[in-house]
Amino acid sequence: MQSFDLVISGAGMVGLTLALALKSSGLTVAIVDPKAEIYELSDEPELRVSAINVASQKVFESLDVWPLVLASRAQAYTHMHVWDKDSFASIDFDHQQVNQDNLGHIVENAVITNSLLAVAKQSEHITFLTPDSVVKVDVNDHGCFIQTQNGEILSARLLVGADGGQSKVRQQANMPQTFWDYEQTAIVATVKTALPHQQCARQVFTEAGPLALLPLWDEHLCSIVWSQDTVKAADLLSLDGVQFGRALTAAFDNKLGVTEVVSQRQSFPLTMRYTRQWLKPRQIVLGDAAHTIHPLAGQGANLGILEAGALAKKLIALTEQQLDIGEVKNLRSFERESKNEAVKMIATMEGFKRLFHGENPLLKLVRGVGLTAVNQLPALKQKIIMQAMGVS
């Protein structure tokens, strides 16, 4: 049996961020993951990207990870343009409105995890158990005992599930979930635009769902996230590359000229999941294991990263006070505050989805008047930008 203070299931952004944030805590950490290896990037952009806000950037800076991200591939965006197709509703955001160098960065997920792994592999307090996975968990008054796929037996004071939407830790602990089908499918791909993106993140709301064009490091390359009603998404996926590019150009009102798809297309169904109980004796879940939200605002990754930072802060405080890091009563305040932030984000995304979905004339008028009014109120726009950047 190997004993650790903390065992983390999952070597994604959230699990690695938590592990690295405990580097000066004195706690021993094990990470269990089927594949915790640095991924060899090709010359082509990866299809899955995240919009990393300023708050998450500050977390990565504190962990000495951000310089590696910038040295690999990342694109700052300084502007945002959002509009409603076939109506007068639109709004613009600019980095100068909040006296910042940028509003955030578009970064491939693989670049982020590679950078986190590169630092974590050099950290003496972190032990990697890979390729492996958690298969069974037993808890008693003295600790948490974990059996892995490879037959390892681990003991820990706390087991953290950072193992995604289908979390085995959450399932083993029977943590109840609320979920609903957004009845939409997200299509992701890399596209080449005739006109340069000018470091601007763009999003248009169509009657069947939002389409985001996110700038990549090449001024003519963007990553798309096209969330459409499931039937409409199936129709789009049935098109060949040229036809899909034409549909994309039309949906985007030809803002960047003719758009050409230069990668394969991937799709995945969109489901809201909210774990009603994140915490059980010596077990806790974070990130996608605790919640999944609609990608229309690109805040899912940031929510998980900030949760990891907040949990690390809590565990360090408990260690300094010589309190048990696995007791429910000692972690309850973290769970309460994190669940509150997650619920607010879920409600906001659901509100946006309903407001901007469909062709209801009254809703079109409401969002047209609303966005136009907000666009003329600098103080309110500044508050919205700062909230999105995570620095409010």
Residue 256 lies in a domain: yes
Phi, psi (degrees; rounded to nearest 5) at 45: -65, 145
Residues 175, 57, single domain; the answer is: yes
Residue 312 lies in a domain: yes
Domain tally for the chain? 2
Would you state the pLDDT for residue 367?
66
Residue range 261-295, pLDDT digits in tens: 999 999 999 999 999 999 999 999 999 999 998 88
Confidence of residue 347 (pLDDT cuts 50, 70, 90): confident
Cross-strand partners of 76: 105
Residues 206, 262, single domain; the answer is: yes
Residues across the chain: 392
**Which of 111-115, 293-297, 388-392 has the weakest average pLDDT?**
388-392
Phi, psi (degrees; rounded to nearest 5) at 244: -65, -40
Q: Which residue has the tokens 């990130």?
A: 287
pLDDT at 379 over 90: no
For residues 353 and 356, give the distance between their C-alpha atoms in angstroms, rounded to a whole number.
6
Residues 61, 139, single domain; the answer is: yes
**Which of 87-101, 143-157, 370-384 has the weakest average pLDDT?**
370-384
Residues 302, 371, single domain; the answer is: no
Reading the block at residue 48, the tokens are 């899955």
Residues 251, 292, single domain; the answer is: no
Q: Which residue has the tokens 């491939």?
A: 108
Q: What CATH number did the domain enclosing 364 receive?
A: 3.30.9.10
Residue 72 lies in a domain: no
Q: Can you give the residue range of the structural domain that contains 363? A: 77-102+181-270+358-389
Would you state the pLDDT for residue 85?
84
pLDDT at 368 over 90: no
Residues 228, 376, single domain; the answer is: yes
For residues 54 and 290, give the distance between their C-alpha atoms in angstroms, rounded to a whole number.
23
Cα–Cα distances in angstroms (integers) from residue 74 to residues 16, 46, 107, in the given order: 19, 12, 5
Residues 16, 113, single domain; the answer is: yes
Average pLDDT over residues 4-32: 97
Comparison of pLDDT for 253 and 374, the residue scoring more: 253
Residue 38 lies in a domain: yes
Would you state the pLDDT for residue 382?
80
Residues 198, 340, single domain; the answer is: no
Residues 200, 347, single domain; the answer is: no
pTM of the model: 0.93
Residues of 107-122 as b/e, b for ≥16 C-beta within 10 angstroms?
bbbbbbbbbbbebbee
Q: What CATH number did the domain enclosing 59 receive?
A: 3.50.50.60
Cross-strand partners of 291: 274
Residues 63, 15, single domain; the answer is: yes
Residues 173, 185, single domain; the answer is: no
Residue range 50-96, pLDDT digits in tens: 999 999 999 999 999 999 999 999 999 999 999 988 777 788 899 98
Report yes or no: 334 and 314 within 8 Å, Cβ to Cβ.
Answer: yes
Residue range 164-205, pLDDT digits in tens: 999 999 999 999 999 888 899 999 999 999 999 999 999 998
Residues 186, 165, single domain; the answer is: no
| Beta-carbon count within 10 A of 48 CB | 14
